[in-house]
């Protein structure tokens, strides 16, 4: 069974894509119609390897932290999810958070901010929505690691206000598993069409999951790495 999938070989940088209003409108329209869009080779291996390295070194000696209120959190933090009791979604992942209301412009925050801007433009939101104290949602750039046996059970993301999910494949050192989207009565693995450096865009409320990752590699950074941006309601 095939998805309603569109693969675009734009050969464009993230900055060029963000400025391409014709392409933005096309992706907005296509996602509204249920399409899954892949933008090929947007990021180079050099950029993504730097993201992985800097993220690893930054959190290497830090302990995981779960804030009581995410929307007031401005410090970077990470957590390990192994089927957390409070979550209805079963999962095994490590997720690193970069609050976009933290105005320090470092390498990774600049990287995830571009993902946030692209998502906002496709959704028809203000370019920097989620970064300002008066916004109804707080923006977080996130980097997710699915190591060997990592997964996330089926779920839907909130449709509003983001409307779409924009993900960058940061590392694809694994042989099986990955993003799967439900088409009619079956899940179709989208990672079969994805490589490191690609962007995938899909409607937020489509039923999707991350099928269990399998990798033969013993390297600490092996597995599936994905970068995205999320919006959490302000209170």
C-alpha 137/C-alpha 71 separation (Å) is 8
- Cα angle for residues 200, 233, 156 (degrees, 5° grid): 40
Decide: residue 111, CB within 10 A, 0-12 exposed, 13-18 middle, 19+ buried. Answer: buried
Peptide bond into 161 cis (omega under 30): yes
Which residue ranges of the chain lie beneath pLDDT 70?
A: 1-2
pLDDT for res 72: 82
Are residues 102 and 74 in contact, defined by beta-carbon separation less than 8 angstroms? yes
pLDDT for res 50: 97
pLDDT for res 33: 94
CATH topology of domain 5-233: Jelly Rolls (2.60.120)
pLDDT for res 84: 84
C-alpha count within 13 angstroms, C-beta hemisphere, residue 131: 21
Q: For the chain, which residues make up each domain, given as ranges?
A: 5-233
The whole model's pTM is what?
A: 0.96
**Closest Cα to residue 104, out of 70, 77, 142, 74?**
74
Long-range interactions of 186-192: CB distance < 8 A, separation 24+: 186/1, 187/154, 187/211, 188/1, 188/2, 188/3, 190/3, 190/5, 190/36, 190/38, 191/224
pLDDT for res 1: 53
């Amino acid at each position: 069974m095939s998805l309603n999938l569109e693969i675009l070989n734009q050969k464009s940088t993230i900055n060029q894509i963000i400025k391409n209003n014709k392409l933005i409108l096309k992706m907005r329209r296509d996602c509204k119609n249920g399409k899954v869009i892949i933008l090929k080779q947007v990021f180079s291996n050099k950029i993504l390897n730097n993201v992985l390295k800097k993220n690893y070194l930054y959190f290497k000696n830090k302990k995981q932290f779960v804030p009581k209120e995410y929307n007031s959190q401005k410090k970077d933090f990470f957590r390990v999810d192994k089927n957390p009791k409070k979550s209805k979604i079963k999962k095994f992942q490590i997720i690193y958070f970069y609050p976009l209301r933290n105005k320090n412009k470092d390498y990774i925050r600049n990287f995830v901010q571009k993902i946030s801007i692209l998502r906002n433009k496709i959704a028809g939101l203000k370019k920097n929505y989620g970064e300002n104290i008066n916004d109804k949602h707080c923006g977080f750039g996130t980097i997710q690691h699915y190591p060997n046996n990592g997964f996330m059970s089926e779920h839907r993301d909130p449709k509003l206000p983001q409307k779409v999910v924009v993900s960058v494949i940061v590392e694809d050192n694994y042989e099986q598993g990955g993003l799967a989207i439900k088409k009619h009565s079956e899940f179709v693995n989208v990672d079969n069409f994805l490589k490191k450096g690609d962007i995938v865009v899909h409607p937020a409320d489509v039923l999707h999951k991350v099928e269990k990752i399998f990798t033969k590699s013993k390297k600490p950074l092996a597995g599936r790495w994905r970068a995205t941006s999320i919006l959490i309601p302000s209170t």
